[in-house]
Amino acid sequence: MRRVLVVRLDSLGDVLLAGPAVRAVAAGADEVWMLCSTQGAPAARLLPGVDRVLTWECPWIVADPQAIDRDDIDELVRTVGAAGIDEAVILTSFHQSPLPTALVLRLAGVTRITGASVDYPGSLLDVRLRPGETLPEEIPEPERALAIAAAGGFALPEGDDGALHLRPLDDIPEHLRGCVVVHPGASAPARRWPAERFRQLVRLLHARGRQVVVTGTAAESELTRDVAQDLAVDLGGRLDVPALAALIAAARVVVCGNTGPAHLAAAVGTPVVSLFAPVVSATKWAPYRVPHVLLGDPTAPCRNSRARECPVPGHPCLTSVSAEVVADACEHLAPVIEGVPA
């Protein structure tokens, strides 16, 4: 049995964008396991082609890392070693190195490892792509991941369109179908539109006759309650990832920042109004192959800084966007899902 480990160790959205590469690996393997963070694991379980998910909080990838712990590394080595993994494909973004992870996998006995590295890999990688040379930098993240998989010998099967896809989802209550999903949270403050603007947006959409559902994590329940007011359905903290995906699949349009729900929407074909802070590249991270509108100042001083906290007083790249502009974008995109020209 050819058992291949696909590694993507950061967030939920990153794992969703790895979906096409996972399907490529699945086409050439007997089993595909994924190694993800706790945050990314629910997304991995929704990806077609994944047979099993392992979780690990990687201290050189996750946003709020713990100190390096020898016992933790040893436990991962034992887990991967016991799994009988034949080879691994390490998926990383341009600013991440696969080499520390490759070292751990070598210690676990993985004999063939593919990754993209600007640094000399020595014996850590068997197949190496050179970013900027054999791997273009300004391409969407799903295509970067597919290129890494292809270097390892894994191609999408005939008939696979290379878009984001999920496993079949459960149905949601009929009364929530056709809603506008508003997701005001984001893990990085630099990617958040102000809560008061979201409140204004809910009022505008309600006045225009749109049913609005506000979503968020349990930690964001105070935010979602504040944004929903008495005008929208507040589901903050009440949905797991599969239920959120099902809601988004049944929605008319999603409004959010550059965060996981935008990529869930792309994976189920729901249009996205994205409040997109230019701290990262829209070419790489915009909603992939789904109708969308990007709002925000792409020329702001924070451009490509990868800042988690906005470095510019007043957060102008997003505060420059009014609730009226966002509401109008929702109205522009909503007919797309109904099959009516905008």
Phi, psi for residue 250 in degrees, rounded to 5 = -95, 0
Q: Which distant-in-sequence residues (6+ apart) come within 8 Å of 173 by Cβ?
A: none
Say what the pLDDT of residue 337 is: 47
SS3 content of the chain, % helix, strand, coil (to 5): 35, 15, 50
* Contact predicate 20/162, CB 8 Å: yes
* Contact predicate 23/156, CB 8 Å: yes
266: nearest Cα among 7, 22, 8, 18: 18
Distance CA 225, CA 11 (A): 25
**Global confidence as pTM:** 0.94
15: nearest Cα among 248, 292, 277, 260: 260
* Contact predicate 158/164, CB 8 Å: no
Structural domains present in the chain: 3-151 (3.40.50.2000), 174-338 (3.40.50.2000)
Distance CA 295, CA 277 (A): 8
52 DSSP assignment = E
Say what the pLDDT of residue 194 is: 95
* Contact predicate 323/201, CB 8 Å: yes
* Contact predicate 5/34, CB 8 Å: yes
Other Cβ atoms less than 10 A from the Cβ of 79: the count is 15
Say what the pLDDT of residue 336 is: 55
CA dihedral 35, 143, 160, 248 (to 10 degrees): 70
Say what the pLDDT of residue 330 is: 96
Say what the pLDDT of residue 253 is: 97
Per residue of the chain (342 residues), give pLDDT as tens: 899 999 999 999 999 999 999 999 999 999 999 999 999 999 999 999 999 999 999 999 998 899 999 999 999 999 999 999 999 999 999 999 999 999 999 999 999 999 999 999 999 999 999 988 888 889 999 999 999 999 999 999 999 999 999 999 999 999 999 999 999 999 888 999 999 999 999 999 999 999 999 999 999 999 999 999 999 999 999 999 999 999 999 999 999 999 999 999 999 999 999 999 999 999 999 999 999 999 999 998 988 888 888 888 888 999 999 999 999 999 999 865 444 333
Say what the pLDDT of residue 340 is: 37
